[in-house]
Amino acid sequence: MLTESVPEPSRSVVALEPVTDDVRGAIRRALDAVDWRQAIPRGADISLKVNLGWDLFIPGSITSPLVAESLILELRDHVGTIYMVEADQVLEDVESAFHRSGMAAVCRRTGVEWVNMERVPTVAVAVPDNVVLREVQVPRILRDTLLVTVPVMKTHAKTGITGALKNQWGCLNKMRHEYHLVLTDALADLNQVVRPALSVMDGTVGLEGNGPKSGTPRIADRILCSTDPVALDTVQAICMGIDPATVPHLRRCAERGIGTDDRTRIDVRGLVPEENVVAFQPAAHNTVSSVENLLRKSALKRLFFNTPIFRVCLVGAKLYYRVWTALKAERHWQRIRAHGVYGPQWRAGWTGVAGSGTDTRP
């Protein structure tokens, strides 16, 4: 009697490449390991969703210009138009972050077009089966292009880690903080609508502790890449010494079919994550995050978040980050600027990655 064979579940590929002195080479190896051209057809227009979520950034809190430029150089001969996209937050001026970080210079050198998604038309996408976000206002550019998300390896006080799934949070409008108490479901809802075709993680300099902003830069020396954002974030967590099972949105996104968090179904190419852990200090809430959580859970929530008092709260939060920056940021900058590979991008006079073009303005 013949029995029908049951096909094995498909496996997700995650590239985990070490970085020595050649970031672009590590990105090239990672891209090739996941056969990225199958995910990005020739001539397709793409949006690079970088993380520029802090205008008073320190290394590790945002996507580095070195990684962004290296990735652009690897992609541009295969794709059509490349856009770099990010959006404002209620606390942050993304235009300032774009210019101060060196990303504006990267775009000039490479011919990439910058788009602040807070300033472009949106398309209403109804998703009745979603739990929290049953209608998502999606920036039109994300409907007209393929999304390549470029997160940073960081801890996060509200989600444990921030990676290829959490990076899409910046695709919502600036009032997205309203969903902070339901992030697990909101992130799954969002990634149902805005799903990256390819994820490339900047694990050169990450951030540990009080992420995603006022933490401590952590040199991790790696690049991760996958067409499955859940699998990538699962491997990311293992690399950081964090149990993926303690990150609720990974399980929720896997349950919703966005990817897999099952290590037995993830084929890691390159380093073995369990044998190459760079232990990150777990996430903790800073003062701003702690106060926000307390107020959102209290009976005073509407008073503080839905009245003009909210503007006073924003002033207080901005003041906190400015004081923190004045007191603590410089020592982090000094340590990373002294690094032979990652330091030059943060120093005046950096002319970009070799082969990026003729514009050498910093």
Provide, rounded to the nearest whole percent, the portion of the chain with pLDDT above 70: 92
* Cα dihedral across residues 115, 119, 121, 124: positive or negative: positive
| pLDDT tops 60 at residue 5 | no
pLDDT digits (tens, 9 = 90+) for 89-98: 888 899 999 9
* Three-state secondary structure call for residue 71: helix
Reported as type and span, the H/E element at residue 229 is helix 229-239
Does residue 350 lie within any of the structural domains? no
**Whether residue 362 has pLDDT greater than 90:** no
**What value does the mean pLDDT take over residues 99-119?**
96
Whether 76 is in a domain gets the answer yes
Question: Is the pTM above the cut of 0.85?
Answer: yes
In a domain, 249, yes or no: yes
The answer to whether residue 275 is domain-embedded is yes
Average pLDDT over residues 190-203: 97
Q: Which two tokens stand for residue 297?
A: 């859970």
Q: Strands 216-226 and 198-208, how do they pair? A: antiparallel
In this structure, is residue 151 part of a structural domain?
A: yes
Residue 252 is predicted with a pLDDT of 97
The answer to whether the Cα torsion of 71, 275, 230, 117 is positive or negative is negative
Q: For residues 158 and 173, give the distance between their C-alpha atoms in angstroms, rounded to a whole number.
A: 19
At 201 the pLDDT is 98
Containing structural domain, residue 159:
12-285
pLDDT of 49 strictly over 90: yes
Contact of 78 with 162, CB cutoff 8 Å: no
Q: Which of 139, 242, 125, 239 is nearest to 192 (CA)?
A: 125
Mean pLDDT over each residue of the chain, to the nearest integer: 91
Using one digit for the tens of pLDDT, what is the confidence trace for 270-308? 999 999 999 999 988 777 777 777 767 777 677 667 777
Q: How many CB atoms lie within 10 A of CB 337?
A: 14
DSSP secondary-structure letter at 223?
Answer: E
Domain at 229, CATH number: 3.40.50
Whether the pLDDT of residue 353 is over 80: the answer is yes
Backbone angles phi, psi at 317, to 5 degrees: -65, -45
Give the lowest-confidence range in 57-61, 168-172, 232-236.
Answer: 168-172
Give domain status of residue 306, yes or no.
no
Is residue 187 one of the residues assigned to a domain?
A: yes
315: Cβ contacts below 8 Å, ≥ 6 apart = none
- Rounded to 5 degrees, φ, ψ at 299 are -70, -10
- Judged by DSSP in three states, 91 sits in coil
Q: What is the pLDDT of residues 15-38, one digit of tens each?
A: 999 999 999 999 999 999 999 999
Answer yes or no: is pLDDT of 258 > 90: yes
CA separation (Å) from 133 to 125, 138, 169, 183, 218? 10, 11, 12, 11, 34
Looking only at the bridges linking them, the beta strands covering 152-156 and 160-162 are antiparallel
- C-beta of residue 200 within 8 angstroms of C-beta of residue 227: no
Mean pLDDT value of segment 153-168: 95
Task: Give the three-class secondary structure for 183.
Answer: helix
Provide the number of structural domains found in the chain: 1
Domain presence at residue 182: yes
